[in-house]
Amino acid sequence: METDKLIVVSEMSEEEKELVKIQLSKILKSTYFNSAKRMKRFLEYVVEKTLAGKGNLLKQYTIGVEALEFPDDFDSDNNPAVRIMGGRVRTRLNDFYKNIENNQIIIEILKGTYAPEFRFNTVNTKISNTQLKAENKGLETSSGPRIALVSFSDKTQSAISNRLVLRVTDVLARELSNFVLAKFIVYNPLSDKSESYKLHQEIDTDYKLNLYVQELPNKQYELLCRLTDFNGEVEWSESYSISADIPLGDQEDIFAKLITMVVDPQQGKLHMNWARRLLLNKETIPAKYKAAVYYRHFYDNLDIESFSQAVEACESAIERNSDDIIANIMLSDLCRRDYVHCFNIINSPVIKGVQYAERATHLRQDSHEAHFALGQIFFSQGDWDRCLDELVLARSINHCNAVVEYACGFHFCLMDRWEEGLALVKKAMGMSKNYPSWYHLIVSLSYYRKGNYKEALTEAEKIVSPGVAHGPLVRCIAYSQLGEIDKAKKELQEIAIRMPNIKTNGHSLLKRFFGNEELTKKIWEGLEISIKA
């Protein structure tokens, strides 16, 4: 065989096709693809179709629907998710061949195409960054809470109920694997419910999410969920009505609510209780937990002291291991918040935020949290096109993260896609009973920009989250426009506590947060009424 010889698929022998499949298996099992489930499905799908002689039929729509499991109404013309994923796969393939030797077959996807080319290679590709990889090998990486999924059978229940709980566990395991800020373990022996207490000794995790399906009259089923800590104490319990006749994929709202209530980094019981428990004795927090603990602590307080602690913990984690994906994702988000809220703790926060988020997407390209962080920092940078690409990709990977749904809706509105954005905000509100009251901010602003000041005030009065300026801000501008100046001035005093320079530098501060110049101007006009009064 000649070096780097192109193999024409139509002329390939079965033996040559088998060699390609062996090489594909090697690539998919490598560290570059092993944890990237969507990228694995993408690459496996296009290779198999090409080997079957159907490479010319590979289009964004077919890849999206058949490989990535997008809905049948997937709009490939307006949704760049497949194109972006294709670029990520090309990058990972290049990284694989740069760093992994002894490859007899080279699989390559040329830019602008989706059908891969196959080449024989008789020259071993040498590892180019061996030293760089060795520096981070074995180094400690930040970790969040560990949680196990455990499903239970019950001899009193029907076979349908017991099969259904297994299916539910599979769906949840797939969805939870999208999160990197917590470590998930699927423990699925279909244990006898009466012996559940034994599992607390068998599984070494911080929390367990116990799942049980109970059959009700008229062939109705109820999913019982219980979150227990390492002592077996119940931290949270909820039940959901599910159907055995409807595909579980069509019951996404149930899983979205469950995931939000349990594992959402900002709203979920898992991170909240875990961080608070560890903070009871700050001196004993293991180094690998500090970044996630103090990041979560910041969201409980939203003040400069907790912000500084979170930044310090994340920076220390990255100093220990630059490839710490959790610390990179969190520090990128903190960079964005430093820029928006003018904490002035991080030098050049937007530039650094992009660097941290891009590193995280490189480390795990199917991480919706990494793409979400990158999209948000692109927004702060004023790069709305790249922001949209990353946010759309984050949502295509995971629709069950309420924070992502809300923030995508928020940014869509600020990019003048109000109808689409408001739909996502309302979806996020429906995913959790405990959503932050500042979710009403964008709804209030949607009324305010149209001159519906009473409706804007009604929504603003629902914002009671402590430590943020959202509520006082929209109440102030609504009161100003309604002529209730005394009330507006009282809210302005509250804003000044959180934004000391609001009277002298308010327009530029608002522009950092909202990005949209037209909306910023309308808000500033409302503030000026109370400032000048």
Read off the tokens for 482: 């309604």
CA dihedral defined by 459, 465, 469, 475, rounded to 10 degrees? 30
* pLDDT at site 174: 81
Q: Which CATH architecture has domain 436-533?
A: Alpha Horseshoe (1.25)
Architecture of the domain whose range is 281-400 = Alpha Horseshoe (1.25)
Mean pLDDT along residues 31-40: 81
Query: What average pLDDT score do residues 380-407 get?
Result: 88
What CATH class has 146-250?
alpha beta
Q: Which two tokens stand for residue 473?
A: 């801000």
Confidence of residue 160 (pLDDT cuts 50, 70, 90): confident
Model confidence at 200, pLDDT cuts 50, 70, 90, reads: very low
The pLDDT value given to residue 102? 67
β partners of residue 216:
220
Q: What is the largest CA-CA distance in the chain?
A: 85
Q: Is the pLDDT of residue 363 over 50?
A: yes
Write out the two tokens for 268. 């979920």
What is the rounded CA–CA span in Å between residue 289 and residue 286?
A: 6
What are the structural domain ranges in the chain?
A: 5-136, 146-250, 281-400, 436-533
Take residue 494 and report the two structure tokens written for it: 């509250």
Q: 36-45, 124-133, 278-287: which has the minimum mean pLDDT? A: 124-133
| The predicted structure's pLDDT at residue 192 | 53
Give the pLDDT confidence of 329-358 residue by residue, as tens digits: 999 999 999 999 888 899 899 999 999 999
Residues 208-220: tens digit of each pLDDT = 888 888 888 877 8
Which stretch of 123-132, 138-147, 315-324 has the lowest confidence by average pLDDT?
123-132
Instruction: Return the higher-pLDDT residue of 221 and 125.
Output: 221
Give the span between the Cα atoms of 64 and 212, in whole angstroms: 33
What pLDDT score was predicted for residue 130? 37
**Looking at per-residue confidence, does 440 or 204 come out higher?**
440
- Above 70 in pLDDT, residue 262? yes
Distance CA 50, CA 177 (A): 29
Quote the CA–CA distance of 360 and 318 in Å, as a whole number: 11
- Is pTM beyond 0.75 here? no
**Strand, helix or coil at 245?**
coil
Nearest alpha-carbon partner for 424 in 436, 434, 411, 441: 411
CB 398 within 8 A of CB 227: no
> What does each C-alpha distance from 171 to 164, 186, 248, 252, 419 come to in angstroms?
11, 11, 8, 10, 30
How does residue 374 score in pLDDT terms, banded at 50, 70 and 90? Answer: very high
Name the band, by pLDDT with cuts 50, 70 and 90, for residue 445: very high
Under DSSP, the state recorded for 303 is S
**pLDDT given at position 462:** 95
Three-state DSSP class for 108?
strand
Cα separation, 87 vs 104, in Å, equals 24
Contacts for 317 with CB less than 8 Å, ≥ 6 apart: 141, 142, 287, 288, 290, 291, 324, 326, 327
* pLDDT for residue 135: 41
Q: Average pLDDT of 109-131?
A: 63
pLDDT of residue 296: 93
Tell me the backbone φ, ψ of residue 347, rounded to 5 degrees: -75, 135
pLDDT the model gives residue 7: 62
Report whether pLDDT(228) > 50: yes
Q: Name the 3-class secondary structure at 71.
A: coil
Cα distance between residue 36 and residue 368, in whole Å: 11
Q: Do domains 281-400 and 436-533 have the same CATH topology?
A: yes
Torsion angle, CA of 41/44/50/53, rounded to 10 degrees?
A: -90
Q: How far is CA 358 from the centre of its chain?
A: 14
Residue 278, pLDDT > 60, answer yes
**pLDDT on residue 155:** 66
Nearest alpha carbon to residue 88 among 21, 30, 40, 129: 40
**Contact (Cβ atoms closer than 8 angstroms) between residue 20 and residue 105:** yes
**Range in 191-205, 235-249, 355-369 the model is least confident about:** 191-205
**Mean pLDDT for the chain overall:** 85
* Residue-wise pLDDT tens digits, 100-114: 766 778 898 888 888
The mean per-residue pLDDT over the stretch 122-134 comes to: 37
Quick one: average pLDDT of 281-298? 92
Backbone angles phi, psi at 203, to 5 degrees: -115, 120
